[in-house]
Structure 1
Amino acid sequence: MSSFEIFPYFTEGTVVTGFGRGGKEIGVPTANFEEDVVQKLPANFECGVYYGWAKISDDDNVYRMVQSVGWNPYYKNTLKTMETHLMHKFDNDFYGKHLKVIVLGYIRPMSDFDSLDALIAAIQKDIAEANKLLEEPTCLKYKNHSFFSISPAAVVSGQAVITPTAVSG
């Protein structure tokens, strides 16, 4: 089974403090999942950049997101991370909040970059690509998925365990 056969991929967990580079250095703040969420990813979930929808526990809105999964070769990370950028300007951090994510597709593999500017340009391109892809009807229907309204949601092997009528449209 390839990584493309796992979509949509449902996951959730607590937002933890990351490296602090996303917002400060890159201008693209991220919400990092705790390590056990990353460790539960299936073996065929390739490192790379993904897109989908995300919701924070105390916010009624569902937001577009891009997500980096891997070791981030530019920064030479030794810990595999799952860093989610919600495409919205927030006034506050949401460390300790519960984050639910539906990953709908793959944008590109992880890459190393010659400079910080090249990394930032690639991330901006990823965001533009995600925005375009999330306008597709096959993606838009997941914005209102019942996974976001069930608390707590049951997720088994990356699939939400809910009624068959959960996705409408």
Structure 2
Amino acid sequence: MVFESTPPEISIPQSLSSTRPLIVGPPSPSLPYPIRLQGPVMRGFGRGGKDLGCPTANLPDDAVDGMLLDGVKNSKNSTDRVPEGKDGVGTGVYYGYARVYPPESAGSEAEASRFKEEDKVVLPMVMSLGWNPFYKNERLTAEIHILHSFASDFYGYQMKALVLGYIRPELDYTTREGLIQDINTDKRVALNCLDRPGYSVFAGDEFFDSIPTA
């Protein structure tokens, strides 16, 4: 099913990018996908939720180094790179699935009250990989927005992500409003792409079965 209207819990405003396709990529993942990432959730710049209405969970640098094309990490001038290849990917916006794993203390009453069972399952995600030129980042980051409403943050928790496809290149926006419009379109595109049988099957991938070690 393709979401022709606003998907549940995600507000999609009228966008300047309304002419963008709402489904991208082949019917099922092809090389270099799927790409498997894991690591502890790091504290980022604190602007995703505050400025953009899109809170993100950041992975440490060493968790994403292996997925990058040669030269991407040390060059901000990567917009002309191919978005994907057999040996890695460049900067851009991607879609896939993610799962957050609370520590063993999540069994306590206090932890259970803020991190519920529905927070622990495999969920759709959008990942921005790059320099975020609108904010003039000084280092490359992998910022994952899980399409789910968590009651609280989960810094330090282990997370796994399965990157399955590419949405668009990284862009330098002239206004924050334009960036927000494209982010909302990215969410819609991700949900539509993951709804295809060739992608939805990865929500049950065995990669998510084991708890990552710290």
Say whether the fold is shared (TM-score over 0.5).
yes
In 1, the alpha carbon distance for the partners of 2:168 and 2:120 equals: 30
1:31 alignment counterpart: 57
Q: How far off its partner does 1:49 sit?
A: 0.2
Q: How far off its partner does 1:123 sit?
A: 0.2
Tell me: higher relative CO, structure 1 or 2? Use CA pairs within 8 A at least 6 residues apart. Answer: 2
CA deviations 1:83-115 (Å, max 9, x no partner) are 000001111101000010000000000001110
2:210 alignment counterpart: 150
Instruction: Give the structure-1-normalised TM-score.
Output: 0.85
1:163 alignment counterpart: none
Q: Secondary structure at the match of 1:150?
A: coil
Which one has a bigger Cα radius of gyration?
2
Q: Percent identity?
A: 42
Off by >3 Å, runs of 4+ in structure 1: none
Q: How far off its partner does 1:41 sit?
A: 2.5
Query: What is the aligned-residue RMSD (CA, Å)?
Result: 1.3
In 1, the alpha carbon distance for the partners of 2:67 and 2:158 equals: 18
Where structure 2 has 5 or more consecutive residues not aligned to the other structure, the ranges are: 1-29, 70-87, 103-118
In 2, the alpha carbon distance for the partners of 1:76 and 1:120 equals: 16
Aligned residues of 2:159 and 2:212 also touching (Cα < 8 A): no
May I ask how many residue pairs the two structures share in their alignment?
150
1:102 alignment counterpart: 162
Where structure 1 has 5 or more consecutive residues not aligned to the other structure, the ranges are: 154-169
The structure whose residues are more often strand, as a share, is: 1
Q: How far off its partner does 1:42 sit?
A: 3.2
Instruction: Give the structure-2-normalised TM-score.
Output: 0.68
